[in-house]
Amino acid sequence: MTDSRGPLIDRIVLNPVQKEAVEYDGGPQLVFAGAGTGKTRVLTAKIAWLMDQKKVPPGAIFAATFTNKAAREMKTRVEAFTGIPCAALWIGTFHSLCVRILRRDGRPLGYPSFFTIYDADDQQSLLKAVLKELQIDERTMAPQVAAHAVSRFKNECLTPDAAVAKAAGFYDQQVARVYKTYQQMLRKRQAMDFDDLITNTVFLLRDNPDVCACYRRMFQHVLVDEYQDTNHAQFELVRLLAGESGRVFAVGDDDQSIYGWRGARVENILSFEKVFAGTRVFKLEQNYRSTTAILDFANAVIRSNSRRAAKKLWTGRTGGDPVVLSRFDDDRQEAESVSAAVARLLANGSKPTDVMVLFRTNAQSRVFEEYLRRRNIAYVIVGGMSFYQRREIKDCLAYLRLVVNPKDDVSFDRIMNVPARGLGEKARETILQAAGRTGASMLETVMDPQALSDFGRGQKGLDDLRGVYAALAGMNESGAKAVDILQKMLEVSSYMDMLEADENEESESRIDNINELVNAVTFWQEDNPERTLADFLEEVTLVTDLDSLDKKGAEGRVSLMTLHSAKGLETKHVFLVGLEDGIIPSRMNLEDPAKVEEERRLLYVGITRAMATLACSYAEQRFRFGSVLPMDPSRFLAEIPRELFKTEEPKKPAAYAVAHRPQPAGKPRNVMPQPQERKRPEPVFDDFSQDTVQYRMGQYVSHKLYGQGRILSISGFGDDMRMTILFNDGARRKLIAKFANLEAV
């Protein structure tokens, strides 16, 4: 398309290398796009150029991203560039695109089009049932360990039979048995987990040449974002779709490959040229985000990795504030100093959203939260529990999922007795036994009057459950809107009545969350008037970590997050804390050179989030595992030339009263001292007030509603203290201290 403004490619602002990559049409392409080099712009421009210049129909383009948010933004930009509606464009996450293929053509795999998608919690529930059936003690094989093993099999595209054949020792054989039984249970429930979505698509295309040929004809071009984060199954999917033509346009940065623990293979991007013959490589090295000082620091970190493509970021933004590296006596001093620096930035006009505190693990956030609260600085922890993972939301979604798929036993298990209707463990076992005799699902068994003709005292609860499902299923079959079905569910199930009867702060919060769910479904239905309840459930199930970031909740707040959560983000001022051996690199990865390289890439990702200033820090001792432990500076810091950063030793707050350690005459203070040179002072911490330590783990307390119980765990401090309490009725409840009104026993 051309118009009075000139050719499209000339209207998209691109540097010479970007433009060359967009206009190249000679076969497979690999674009190494360093941090802040305009990766998304190039990928978007490529799609627009294919549609405008090469006249490729939107439906002939397959573009895989790693977040729904990125896909939406790219689709909007393409429409703005070209003026062509992009509804037919196949752009989305690998998982969402595979769902489209499986719902259209997945019947050869033995699945109906309305299969349910299980999230991580659902997977755990089903794996517990598998372990119980196979009589494997969870102390021998925890469900989380089994889930990781199953995921590994699927990422490698191993079928259950192949895994059984490959198993060597007894434990491997047990794991393979779990995998095989788990897949059988999934199929019986007409469900797939997240890994299945990609692996089953690979199996579909690999084992059904006619289906594969159809999709190869359909997709003239295959584009992949963040190629360095692909696992083996995703690589196989791309290879199968591209076929002999090799029309693949891959964009990524091997220096930002940080998801090896999820199965991602940095080798996929490093071996791209060998797999796709005739590949043309482009390198985007001009950074538009950070200052020279920050980029020089980042380049110095990453160049120590042996497995990487040769490249070096540069920018036209010369100069900038030098990177600061600070040494602290302990983690509390580090948090106090960082919070003071944040306060100065805010006082000098910076917005809270311009500030980010990054750490290796979520556990490190607690002390920073404490000191930010002391200064009344609002903050948000990015990467916490997703809205759709909250208990009351998952309860509501379980009801709705059963409406779409009555074979979903995991969802039935969740809501069978929620709200309480007298259907306890004995009733559950009776239903399970009856279902086992007929091969039906638990809900199908409940709905069959002949299967459970004499149910004793639980008959009223059974009739209640039948009435709820019948009402909702009838609405769905008649084409009712998703929001109407949700509101009907809340009414006939008495779920809201249950919460309102509790009359406590926790229930009020849960009611607010359900009202927010109603709002979310209402807005979704307004944007998608023709789509169904099944479509809504699919969309919320496929929400990714970054998609669940609450932008509204983050407004006016400083962001605290792990380095993994920060990927893809940027901000003006970054505090990179806890740079110590055993933290980064993680103590779990110190013995594996490949994992140490991934840890170095993780540090590189954190550094390159900063646009204007970067302050790094480490502590000489840290409270970990219940004790104060001595720490060494991260080995990565020793790889950085001293001229690329300045060192600071902030003035110690009076509360610490740590004596200054004199240095030998004429010898400069070493910001990265060797362990044997260090004499560690005894830690001196602030005294806590009685209010702060009012509750302790193991303490017995009394609640006016729940009775007596014992505190199992505590997180947070002061008004934000949260406790898990085991009450005498056997229930574990999580309460907020300031609302619980507990009394010591």
Q: Give per-10-residue mean pLDDT for the chain (745 aa).
A: 60 91 94 94 94 92 90 89 87 95 95 92 93 89 90 95 92 94 95 96 97 95 96 96 88 95 92 94 96 96 94 87 95 95 96 96 86 91 75 93 94 92 88 89 89 76 91 93 93 88 74 85 87 90 60 73 92 97 90 94 97 96 75 95 90 45 34 38 36 63 76 69 74 73 76
Catalytic residue among 174, 256, 333, 613: 256
Under 8 Å between Cβ of 677 and 670: yes
Burial of 294 (0-12, 13-18, 19+ CB in 10 A): buried
Longest dimension (CA), the chain: 93
Q: Which H or E run contains 20?
A: helix 16-23
Under 8 Å between Cβ of 571 and 354: yes
From the CB of residue 384, how many other CB atoms can be counted at a distance below 10 Å?
Answer: 15
Q: What are phi and psi of 586, to 5 degrees?
A: -65, 145
Burial of 436 (0-12, 13-18, 19+ CB in 10 A): exposed
Q: Residue 659's pLDDT is what?
A: 34
Q: Residue 690's pLDDT is what?
A: 32
Residue 551 CA to residue 390 CA, distance in Å, equals: 18
Provide the residue ranges of all domains of the chain, joining segments of one domain with +.
2-105+199-286, 116-189, 293-385+550-677, 387-541, 700-744
pTM: 0.78
Asked if 39 is an active-site residue, the reply is: yes
Catalytic residue among 40, 159, 279, 353: 40
Residue 265 CA to residue 594 CA, distance in Å, equals: 11
Q: Residue 721's pLDDT is what?
A: 74
Under 8 Å between Cβ of 577 and 368: yes
| Domain 2-105+199-286, CATH | 3.40.50.300
Identical fold between 2-105+199-286 and 293-385+550-677: yes
Q: What are phi and psi of 272, to 5 degrees?
A: -55, -45
Q: Residue 738's pLDDT is what?
A: 67
Q: What is the pLDDT of residues 563-606, one digit of tens each?
A: 999 998 999 999 999 999 999 999 888 889 999 999 999 999 99
Percentage of residues in the chain having pLDDT higher than 70 = 88
Q: Residue 656's pLDDT is what?
A: 44
Residue 40 CA to residue 284 CA, distance in Å, equals: 12
| Domain 387-541, CATH | 1.10.486.10
Catalytic residue among 39, 189, 407, 601: 39
From the CB of residue 446, how many other CB atoms can be counted at a distance below 10 Å?
Answer: 25
Residue 272 CA to residue 562 CA, distance in Å, equals: 30
Asked if 296 is an active-site residue, the reply is: no
Report the sign of the C-alpha dihedral through residues 314, 317, 318, 324, in that order.
negative
Catalytic residue among 105, 122, 225, 538: 225
Burial 650-685 (b: 16+ CB within 10 A, else e): bebeeebebeeeeeeeeeeeebbeeeeeeeebebee
Placement of tokens 């970007």 in the chain: 18
Asked if 226 is an active-site residue, the reply is: yes
Under 8 Å between Cβ of 445 and 434: yes
Catalytic residue among 216, 247, 609, 622: 609
Residue 61 CA to residue 220 CA, distance in Å, equals: 6
Please state which architecture CATH assigns to domain 293-385+550-677.
3-Layer(aba) Sandwich (3.40)
Catalytic residue among 122, 193, 196, 226: 226
Report the sign of the C-alpha dihedral through residues 523, 524, 527, 528, in that order.
negative
Alpha helix stretches (DSSP H) within 375-424: 391-404, 409-415
Asked if 551 is an active-site residue, the reply is: no
CATH class (in words) of the domain with range 116-189: mainly alpha
Q: Residue 611's pLDDT is what?
A: 97
